[in-house]
Amino acid sequence: MNRQDYIKQSRRHYRSYYRLVSVAVILMMAVLTGSLLLGDSVRGTLVQRVEERLGRTESILTSGTGFMDERILQNDLLEESEGVLLVDGYISQSNKLIPVYVWGIDNDSLPEGNAWVNDPLSARLEGSGDIVLHLPSHNMVPSGSLFVTQSYSTQMRLRVTGHRSVQQGGNILLKNEQTLPLNIFVNRASLGEVMEIEHKINLILSATPITYDQLGTIWTPSHSGICLNDSSLTYEGIFIPSAIVDTLAPCSRYFSYLVNDLSLSGARTDSVEESSLSSGARTDSAKESSSSLSSSLPYSFVTAVDEWRGEALSKRDIILSDYAAQSLQANVGDSISMSYFLAKDLKNLETKECRLCVRQIVPLEEFKNDSLLIADFPGLSHVEKCTDWDSDLPIDMDRIRKTDEDYWYQHQQTPKAIVAYSAIRGDWSNAFGSATALRLTADRREAESRLSCQSFITIISPRAEGLFAANNGTDFAGLFMALGFFIIVGGILLMLNPIAEMLHERSTELALYQQVGYTRKRVLRQLFRETFGTMLIASPLGVLAGVLYSGITLWLLAGVWSGATHTEGFALHIHAATLLVSWAIGIAIAIATLYYLLRKSLRESDKPRLSKPMSGSISPALVVLLLTLALFAYNLCCLHSMILFIVCGMMWIVCFGMWLRVWLARRQQAHTPDGWNKAQMVWQTVCASHRRHMLAYWTLALGVFTVFAVGLNRPDFNGKELVEQSTGSYQLYVDCRVPIQYDLNHPDVRRKLLLSGLPDSTHFLPFLRHVQDEASCLNLNRVSTPTVLGVSLDEMQPFGLTPTSPSPSLPCVYIDQESLTWSMMKSVGDTLYYDTQQGPHTPVLIAGTYPTGIFHGNAIMSDADFRSLWPKESGVEVLLVKSSRPDEAAELLSTAMSQYGLDVQTTQQRIKMFFEVTDTYLVIFLTLGALGILLGIFSLFVIVRKNLTASQQAIMLYRQLGYREAVIRSLLVRENLLVPLYAMLTGAIGSVISISANVAGAGIHTILLAAACLLLLCATLYAGVHLLIRKNIKP
């Protein structure tokens, strides 16, 4: 018989132990491997999604809020590129809004009137027939400016004729998100026509990487809508951005404007310097006074210039056309009053009036011949009559006279007067520009050289960004390792206990080896080979079980646990390296555990088996108890810190662990001067194996504490208090696909938008929005730049946001703690970099956090900072609504403002959506934690079995001393159950202490559920121990 035979024989003899060891190794290895594979699978799926959504795209050229001329695509550099007109839109179907990305593409097989949809959108659409696609009414002039038409949206009737598969780029998305987008592809030419932006694109998807230098070689100003002549410059977007004006300085600036009134001063008696009126809200008295004036010109175009005929104009100067002078009966030197609308935020209009002095009167033809003095405003230009004007401004058509119509018919928007640019610059300039035309001093070539493509087009390398976001996103390996922690610990305990039990059983054998001359090292080596061999054989099964575990978890994540990711289609990615690493980790843990146990057992085989007498002084336990109570009381009365409550809960467990030790030590030393009883007898027996019992205490108490603390901290998502805290008591959350340019709190605006039926108590909290990446827990990618919401920070107090001003020079944002930590992996004081009007990579400071609530995943910024960074994004895209009758308000908003594509949902619904993620993770943790505790209890059964094996002689003695079987069983049950039950109870009480800050928030259902779970665990423990005893002490 050689050593190998001996090992085989021993393994066969002790197979019942080795079976348990194998199960433990498989379990531990499965969770380790499974967790690492989950990390790989989620990461792999995210990377796959990047490939799917980008296709062959290597560079994206975007014109931001502006447009590019599609002729830019004719350059060789962009040969492998696709020009796209991308806009947000929505499809309304069965009273539901489906927000979509509308991709205007140039594809011969996609004729006008037809549309293709991607698979996710196809699944959402009911039937495959005709659809109505709603679009924001874009045109070349931004809707936030004053001179736009009244309609803010338009629509296209389309027939869905095909699908664009993933391989065909159907799931293209420019954001770093794993959720599949809803894409509709339409004919670019027809989309441009509907939106009045023919031959324009705003996106170029290039299959080859493109640099700014390369782009600079092909780009001309005309590609970005700049009409540059030899001596002048105009812009298709009408308002020339201030940056261009500054770049081309010195130059002469022109600004065309529709003024409300020109009148000869002195003729008016009730003129005011300035009055504030909302849009559509001119007062009746004002109407009457203006219509009564004979020497005034209503609604006239006036152009502001820096100089006229080479001469600079002073701020008080006005040059009238002869037509205007005649109409006003004005002469040089007369005083002219000019009133005009002045736009504040959200088109809150003010009417401003200024007094000017007639410097010169010139023939109208001179104005007419200078094209720079005339600008084309949508809705105003190119109509036959003034009364045909389609303007968002509150124009009083009653004031327009026949003579005004005659003028319009003959001269259209030819200005009636010229004023000094310096006089109106602050009033007429807007977020989109500070001039409507420029007369250049530099020649065309020089002007061209000064203009750079970077001012108009941004180049993005989406693949690198996408892969970075995917590879650095939520760490599922770590997450599931943490979630499955208790199973791993349970597995280790389960591995530890059978080996310990077997070694205990073989203690005579171990002693014998040493007696017959084996060195301790040799005995250790022999036992190690015997046991480790089993582990080694079980380990590949564990790895395989890990693959199964990750597969099942991914299946659950797509099913009952889908609330955690809101994503389907996670694919299992198995990497050999991961399998090897997890196998190596598992084996390392097994070796360490085995080595520790073998050494310990061999050491103990030299000594008597009885544990050393316990030492347990009462003083430290008393100090810790007093400290725990004092800290708990102080925290409860003054601090209310959740962390401190958790610390108190843990201190409670430590304290009662110490008390248990003191108790056991005292029982062990207890003498019997006057008598003895069964309780003392039981405790003294427990003392005899105090180390084993203390290990059981710490394992069970901490396990129950952690799982129950998490479970009890699981908020009641229906709780009124929680919802109020998270929503600031606002009841409705409104997402607008078409930005709203009005202040909905103003009564006149409500009248204009047919919202007068809203309850008076209705209050709107408007938010500007710069859309970037979703940073909420729904996005598994790492987010660098979350979507920014602009709002007055004073309004954010109910949401727990306290503004600070850490840096006066940098714009600041506030981000909810969860998004900051998990999605962005940043902290307060870090800097984010956004592409803004101030330039690419504008630094924005993270100034603070706010509690996770309705704005989860968004960065909150003051509206002032927002407007300075993204002045063109002036419309409201998010609204919170507070009303005494929220249901009515929701219905009215949806119907009256249907053209804005409002998606109205209750704040509670939205909060629930976010909380569902946290809740699902908690459920996963609780499920795996409960499994871990059950495993811990199962390993406790192994200890009990070991105790029973060791107690066989004692049981026999009891019988011989006349103890009845029931009494013996009762003694054994008490010996084996007292400490575990004490541990579970202590852990449970500790967990209640840890949630003292939020006992009410836990909800009665959660507390009852926790109590039921505790009872179930205790019952499982009791039943298991009872069964084991019945089975093992048969007479």
Partner 1 sequence: MLTVLDDLTLDVAKGEFVAVRGESGAGKTTLLNILGTMLSPDRGSYHLDGQLVTPDKLSEIRNKKVGMVFQDHRLMPQFTVMQNILLPLLAEKDATTFDEVQRAERLLAFMDIADLRESMVTTLSGGEKTRVAICRALINQPSLLLADEPTGQLDARNARIIAELFGKVNRELQTTIVMVTHSEEMTKAAQKTYVLENGKLRV
Give the CA-trace dihedral at 770, 772, 777, 782, to 10 degrees.
Answer: -150
Identity of the residue numbered 701: A
447 to each of 439, 443, 455, 537, 983, how far by Cα in Å? 11, 6, 14, 78, 82
Please report whether residue 957 would count as binding partner 1 according to CB under 8 A.
Answer: yes
Contacts of 880 (CB under 8 A, 6+ apart): 727, 728, 730, 732, 733, 734, 764, 765, 767, 854, 907
DSSP state of 280: T
Which part of the chain contacts partner 1 (CB under 8 A), choosing from 100-108, 170-178, 267-275, 683-691?
683-691
Among 486, 565, 558, 564, CA closest to 923: 564
Name beta bridge partners: 357. Answer: 317, 335
Chosen residue from 3, 445, 640, 678 binding partner 1 by CB under 8 A: 678
Chosen residue from 426, 960, 1004, 1034 binding partner 1 by CB under 8 A: 960
User: Which 3 state secondary structure label does DSSP give 823?
Assistant: helix
**Whole-angstrom Cα distance, residue 475 to residue 134?**
39
Which part of the chain contacts partner 1 (CB under 8 A), choosing from 276-284, 296-304, 672-680, 692-700?
672-680
Taking the complex as a whole, how short is the minimal distance between the CB of residue 965 and partner 1, in angstroms? 8
Residue among 368 and 959 whose Cβ is closer to partner 1:
959
Residue among 668 and 781 whose Cβ is closer to partner 1:
668
Which part of the chain contacts partner 1 (CB under 8 A), choosing from 62-70, 241-249, 389-397, 676-684?
676-684
Which part of the chain contacts partner 1 (CB under 8 A), choosing from 30-38, 262-270, 664-672, 895-903?
664-672
Which 926-955 positions form the footprint of partner 1 (CB under 8 A)? 953-954
Residue among 250 and 962 whose Cβ is closer to partner 1:
962
Beta strands in 732-820 (DSSP E): 732-740, 763-770, 787-791, 812-816
CA 523, 524, 529, 532 torsion: positive or negative? positive
**Residue found by looking up tokens 């996103």 in the block:** 473
Taking the complex as a whole, how short is the minimal distance between the CB of residue 672 and partner 1, in angstroms? 5
Chosen residue from 450, 963, 969, 985 binding partner 1 by CB under 8 A: 963
Which 491-520 positions form the footprint of partner 1 (CB under 8 A)? none
**Whole-angstrom Cα distance, residue 1035 to residue 1033?**
6
Binding mask 337-376 for partner 1 (x = CB under 8 A): ----------------------------------------
Contacts of 982 (CB under 8 A, 6+ apart): 656, 660, 697
Taking the complex as a whole, how short is the minimal distance between the CB of residue 501 and partner 1, in angstroms? 19
Binding mask 586-625 for partner 1 (x = CB under 8 A): ----------------------x-x---------------
User: Which 3 state secondary structure label does DSSP give 1005?
Assistant: helix
Which 684-703 positions form the footprint of partner 1 (CB under 8 A)? 684-685, 687-688
Chosen residue from 129, 333, 426, 962 binding partner 1 by CB under 8 A: 962
Residue among 2 and 960 whose Cβ is closer to partner 1:
960
Binding-site size for partner 1 (CB under 8 A) equals: 30
Name beta bridge partners: 98. Answer: 91
CA-derived radius of gyration, the chain: 39
Torsions phi, psi of 226, nearest 5?
-95, 125
Taking the complex as a whole, how short is the minimal distance between the CB of residue 1026 and partner 1, in angstroms? 20
Chosen residue from 1, 675, 794, 1004 binding partner 1 by CB under 8 A: 675
Please report whether residue 402 would count as binding partner 1 according to CB under 8 A.
Answer: no
Residue among 449 and 953 whose Cβ is closer to partner 1:
953
Please report whether residue 676 would count as binding partner 1 according to CB under 8 A.
Answer: yes
Please report whether residue 671 would count as binding partner 1 according to CB under 8 A.
Answer: yes
Beta-carbon count within 10 A of 807 CB = 13
DSSP state of 612: P
Please report whether residue 558 would count as binding partner 1 according to CB under 8 A.
Answer: no
Chosen residue from 967, 1008, 1016, 1027 binding partner 1 by CB under 8 A: 967
Residue among 587 and 954 whose Cβ is closer to partner 1:
954
179 close to 566: Cβ distance less than 8 angstroms: yes
Which part of the chain contacts partner 1 (CB under 8 A), choosing from 214-222, 396-404, 617-625, 670-678?
670-678
**Whole-angstrom Cα distance, residue 883 to residue 875?**
22
Taking the complex as a whole, how short is the minimal distance between the CB of residue 710 and partner 1, in angstroms? 38
**Whole-angstrom Cα distance, residue 767 to residue 730?**
14
Taking the complex as a whole, how short is the minimal distance between the CB of residue 687 and partner 1, in angstroms? 6
Taking the complex as a whole, how short is the minimal distance between the CB of residue 928 and partner 1, in angstroms? 38
Identity of the residue numbered 213: D
Question: What does the buried/exposed string (b/e) look like for 186-206 if buried means 16 or more CB atoms within 10 Å of the residue's CB?
Answer: bbbbbbbebbebeebbbbbbb
Which 973-992 positions form the footprint of partner 1 (CB under 8 A)? none
Applying CB under 8 A, which residues contact partner 1? 608, 610, 668, 671-681, 684-685, 687-688, 953-954, 956-964, 967
